[in-house]
């Protein structure tokens, strides 16, 4: 199994390095501890906007095409992503290019130009990205569910922000937000693949270790002080299929029940042999797509079930989903089911570390969101191994409190207007 080392640069910036001898590629990833939940409502979407703009010109590569041509000239895989908790930037390339990769990332993150013309052009790009999600209910359902579950709170807002805010966001507000959050005291750096620890530390100190990293991270409004409430929302779309998402409050990142909850989500709807897939799709033919997923944040979490359904059979599908959940709550689960779910999770984790980019993302994500605690692969596999059938049933009863069940349905209003979750409380 792969191992990792944790070090700090000369200026105290945290770094995780995971050498992998079986590859000639190296991935450099930087996570910045800022995402959409840090944003005031009036500038919702600014974190995602900044993510786009950091590819639009830097001090050393002042025109976007120069930066892109440089990266393409390396044959690199590169991208960025924004979540509610953080923003990430990565480049994966042949390990011989690691010095240039780190130079590029350093320049992108800490010497962007924020050119007015580029910013104006990128508004249109992001608005079209928002429109793409709006036009695709499958891609939209999970975000709409969290909007219903976390009302009037940053966790309930769209990561992309609404188009009207992006279209009018002042450059000065964006730059001020960037300066507040993009500093060396607010990042973690990860390297994985064909990398040596001593050589990597030397390179990282060159590009990230010179300036001081004394600034403290900004905080965000906690959801734990608000509390969960039941919610049901219908989004009118003239579609043939209804996208349904149901959600229950669950656990935060550091909760000791997380491994059992992951096993629960897997056997419920995590793969093609799961209960919901077999019951909702294979036996009843109500859906092509159905899944269950555990989502965690620093202060809360949720377990969500999502399905694409025939518009005339939504109520039948909800009843079938709740019946399957109630069956688990009553202990109608076999040891074989639990073991199969555990082996599925373990197998996926082993495959995950084959790729340097997914492996380093898993490690740095832990550091950033779990207060510096980083498990090894062996520790994670052991956590799942220890989960018992009794724990799965116990966690099911703790999570699936139907009086707190929230849901959204995206589809034709006339098919959904009489639907409610009251009968499932």
CA angle 396, 400, 401 (to 5 degrees): 130
Question: Residue 425: what pLDDT?
Answer: 64
Tokens (6 digits) for 212: 């001081």
Q: Is the dihedral of CA 360, 365, 367, 373 positive or negative?
A: negative
How many other β-carbons are positioned within 10 Å of the β-carbon of residue 40? 11
CA distances for 206 relative to 6, 190, 370, 394, angstroms = 18, 15, 28, 51
Nearest residue to 237 (alpha-carbon basis) of 126, 130, 125, 141: 141
What mean pLDDT do residues 377-384 have?
96
The pLDDT confidence band at residue 371, using thresholds 50, 70 and 90, is confident
Length of the chain, please? 425
Please tell me the pTM assigned to this model: 0.95
More confident residue, 402 or 213: 402
Residue 45 clears pLDDT 70, i.e. is over it: yes
- Dist. CA 286–CA 275, nearest whole Å: 14
Contacts of 199 (CB under 8 A, 6+ apart): none
String of DSSP letters for 102-141: HHHHHHHHHSB---HHHHHHHHHHHHHHHHHHHT-HHHHH
Average pLDDT across the chain, whole number: 94
Residue 193 clears pLDDT 60, i.e. is over it: yes
Residue 1 clears pLDDT 60, i.e. is over it: no
- Dist. CA 309–CA 305, nearest whole Å: 13
Question: Residue 422: what pLDDT?
Answer: 74
More confident residue, 312 or 192: 192
- Dist. CA 6–CA 189, nearest whole Å: 10
How many other β-carbons are positioned within 10 Å of the β-carbon of residue 89? 21
- Dist. CA 209–CA 225, nearest whole Å: 38
pLDDT digits (tens, 9 = 90+) for 334-367: 999 999 999 999 999 999 889 999 999 999 999 9
Residue 132 clears pLDDT 90, i.e. is over it: yes
Q: Is the dihedral of CA 55, 57, 60, 62 positive or negative?
A: positive
- Dist. CA 407–CA 419, nearest whole Å: 11
String of DSSP letters for 58-99: BSSS-SHHHHHHHHHHTT-EEEEEE-SS-EEEEEEEEGGGHH
Q: To the nearest 5 percent, what fractions of the chain are helix, strand and coil?
A: 50, 20, 30
pLDDT digits (tens, 9 = 90+) for 134-175: 999 999 999 999 999 999 999 999 999 999 999 999 999 999
Residue 279 exposure: Cα atoms within 13 Å on the Cβ side: 19
Residue 359 main-chain phi, psi, to 5 deg: -65, -45
Tokens (6 digits) for 231: 């919610």
Q: Is the dihedral of CA 402, 412, 320, 255 positive or negative?
A: negative
Name all domains of the chain by residue range, CATH numbers in brackets: 5-208 (3.30.830.10), 232-424 (3.30.830.10)
Nearest residue to 219 (alpha-carbon basis) of 110, 149, 298: 298
CA angle 368, 372, 375 (to 5 degrees): 100
The pLDDT confidence band at residue 214, using thresholds 50, 70 and 90, is confident
Return the DSSP state at 10. Answer: T
């Amino acid at each position: 199994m792969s191992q990792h080392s944790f070090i700090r640069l000369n200026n105290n910036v945290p770094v995780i390095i995971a050498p992998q001898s079986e590859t000639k590629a190296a991935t450099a990833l930087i996570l910045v501890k800022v995402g959409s939940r840090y944003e005031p409502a009036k500038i919702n979407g600014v974190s995602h906007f900044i993510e786009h703009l950091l590819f639009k010109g830097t001090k050393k590569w002042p025109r976007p095409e120069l930066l892109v041509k440089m990266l393409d000239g390396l044959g690199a895989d590169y991208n960025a992503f924004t979540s509610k908790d953080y923003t990430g930037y990565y480049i994966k390339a042949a390990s011989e290019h690691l010095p240039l990769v780190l130079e590029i990332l350093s320049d992108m993150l800490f010497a962007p130009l924020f050119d007015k013309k580029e910013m104006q052009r990128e508004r249109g790009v992001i608005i079209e990205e928002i429109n793409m999600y709006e036009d695709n209910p499958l891609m939209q359902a999970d975000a709409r569910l969290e909007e219903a579950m976390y009302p009037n709170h940053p966790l309930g807002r769209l990561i992309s922000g609404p188009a009207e805010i992006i279209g009018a966001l002042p450059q000065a507000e964006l730059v001020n937000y960037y300066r507040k959050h993009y500093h060396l005291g607010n990042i973690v750096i990860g390297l994985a693949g064909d990398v040596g620890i001593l050589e990597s530390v030397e390179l990282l100190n060159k590009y990230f270790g010179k300036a001081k990293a004394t600034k403290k991270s900004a905080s965000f409004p906690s959801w734990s002080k608000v509390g969960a409430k039941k919610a049901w929302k219908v989004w009118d779309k003239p579609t043939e299929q209804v996208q349904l998402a149901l959600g229950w409050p669950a656990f935060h990142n550091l909760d000791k029940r997380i491994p059992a909850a992951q096993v629960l989500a897997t056997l419920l709807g995590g793969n093609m042999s799961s209960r919901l897939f077999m019951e909702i799709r294979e036996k009843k033919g109500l859906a092509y797509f159905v899944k269950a997923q555990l989502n965690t944040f620093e202060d809360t979490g949720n377990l969500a079930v999502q399905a694409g359904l025939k518009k005339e059979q939504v109520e039948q599908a909800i009843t079938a989903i709740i019946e399957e959940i109630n069956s688990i709550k009553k202990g109608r689960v076999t040891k074989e089911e639990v073991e199969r779910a555990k082996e599925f999770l373990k197998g996926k984790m082993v495959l995950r570390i084959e790729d340097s980019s997914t492996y380093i993302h898993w490690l740095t994500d832990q550091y950033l969101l779990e207060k510096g605690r980083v498990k090894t692969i062996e520790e994670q596999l052991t956590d799942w191994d220890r989960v018992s059938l009794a724990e799965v049933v116990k966690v099911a009863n703790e999570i699936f409190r139907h009086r707190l069940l929230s849901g959204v349905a995206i589809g034709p209003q006339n098919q959904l207007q009489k639907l409610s979750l009251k009968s499932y409380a």
